[in-house]
Amino acid sequence: MTDFQSWAQHTQQRMEQVLNSLLPASDIAPDRLHEAMRYAVLGGGKRVRALLAHAAGELCGANPAKVDIAAAAVELIHAYSLVHDDMPCMDDDDLRRGKPSCHKQYDDATALLVGDALQTLAFQSLATPGLCTNPTRQLDMVNLLAIASGSRGMAGGQAIDLASVGKALDQTELEYMHIHKTGALIRAAALLGAHCADDLDQDQLQAIDHYAQAIGLAFQVVDDILDAEADSETLGKTAGKDAESNKPTYVTILGIDQAKRLAQELLDDALAPLAAYGDAAQQLKQVAYFITQRSF
């Protein structure tokens, strides 16, 4: 196992414990809602956003125990978005993280409430007293996550995505949608990790922001490539989800080779501002490779 793999595994396990302790126990009323919230969050997911928060926190010298809380808030928002995204009124997916999606395991009304409750739990976590020595900074963090997940961020991106089905988007329009739908939360994860440091260096913050915006887009380009490759493997059996719903992707717009070149360019762009930080940025660099070279 490489140093990065053991760091990532350790961080993923650590996040599982943090999320476990933030989520209400399933024997506390309303039991079914709490059980469904735990079902949606625990025991799955790559925790990419948490890894980003921790890697950014490490570059800025943040206390990992504080980063845990910020990273958990982002993972809770992410889990809520997946629960809602899977519902019949959105993407209508039966499976998530290798098991029945939340509305399939429970029911639509419960899944709706799971998303609502996870979202408020995220903000409750960010409001943990003492998360920042500087209370203004802590308010900045709340604001940052609210903007990233709301109508000017992830929820807005989802609205644009829903409105784009069947339309011929160009690359600029596709990029605009992804910057909001998935990029905003990925960017927030890295920025929140950095905000946990006692002294926030503006140059470091700018470097992390540049990195996170590029890697957020790369994440989506790679996701489209992986989907297209999975679709072509199953060609003749079942059509892929994107093909079925006629959704524009980087592969449908650019073709597979050009999409791969774009992923590489975005990786290079993400890594460029980290060069000045040497070993302190090691985990951020490795997370970027993990995101762009993943095969799942």
Which residue sits closest to ligand GRG, CB atoms considered?
45
Report the phi/psi class of residue 132: left, alpha or beta, with left for phi > 0 and alpha for psi in -120 to 50. beta
> How does DSSP assign 126-164, residue by residue?
HT-TTSSSSHHHHHHHHHHHHHHHSTTTHHHHHHHHHHH
Minimum CB distance to ligand GRG smaller for 197 or for 248 = 248
Contact between 154 and ligand GRG per CB under 6 A: yes
Q: Which of 16, 41, 45, 118 binds ligand GRG (CB under 6 A)?
A: 45
Contact between 158 and ligand GRG per CB under 6 A: yes
Contact between 273 and ligand GRG per CB under 6 A: no
Q: Which of 57, 66, 73, 81 binds ligand GRG (CB under 6 A)?
A: 81
Q: Which of 46, 104, 210, 260 binds ligand GRG (CB under 6 A)?
A: 46
Contact between 182 and ligand GRG per CB under 6 A: yes
Contact between 97 and ligand GRG per CB under 6 A: yes
C-alpha 281/C-alpha 62 separation (Å) is: 13
CA atoms within 13 A on the CB side of 273: 19
Q: Which of 40, 48, 177, 196 binds ligand GRG (CB under 6 A)?
A: 48
> Which residues 6+ apart lie within 8 Å of 75 measured at CB?
15, 19, 41, 45, 47, 49, 50
Neighbours of 93 (CB within 10 A): 16
Minimum CB distance to ligand GRG smaller for 40 or for 197 = 40
Tokens found for residue 7: 């760091």
Q: Which of 85, 180, 285, 287 binds ligand GRG (CB under 6 A)?
A: 85
For residue 68, the cross-strand partners are none
Contact between 84 and ligand GRG per CB under 6 A: yes
Minimum CB distance to ligand GRG smaller for 76 or for 205 = 76
Contact between 155 and ligand GRG per CB under 6 A: yes
Region of 7-15, 78-86, 100-108, 140-148 interacting with ligand GRG (CB under 6 A) = 78-86
Instruction: Please tell me the count of residues contacting ligand GRG according to CB under 6 A.
Output: 16
Q: Which of 173, 209, 223, 265 binds ligand GRG (CB under 6 A)?
A: 223
C-alpha 119/C-alpha 74 separation (Å) is: 9
Neighbours of 55 (CB within 10 A): 29
Minimum CB distance to ligand GRG smaller for 67 or for 287 = 287
Burial tier of 53 (Cβ tally within 10 Å: 0-12, 13-18, 19+): buried
Minimum CB distance to ligand GRG smaller for 139 or for 239 = 239
C-alpha 266/C-alpha 269 separation (Å) is: 5
Contact between 292 and ligand GRG per CB under 6 A: no
CA quadruple 156, 158, 162, 166: dihedral sign: positive
Region of 14-22, 26-34, 102-110, 151-159 interacting with ligand GRG (CB under 6 A) = 151-159
- The answer to whether the beta carbons of residues 284 and 55 sit under 8 Å apart is yes
Query: Given the rule CB under 6 A, which residues bind ligand GRG?
Result: 45-46, 48, 78, 81-82, 84-85, 90, 97, 154-155, 158, 181-182, 223
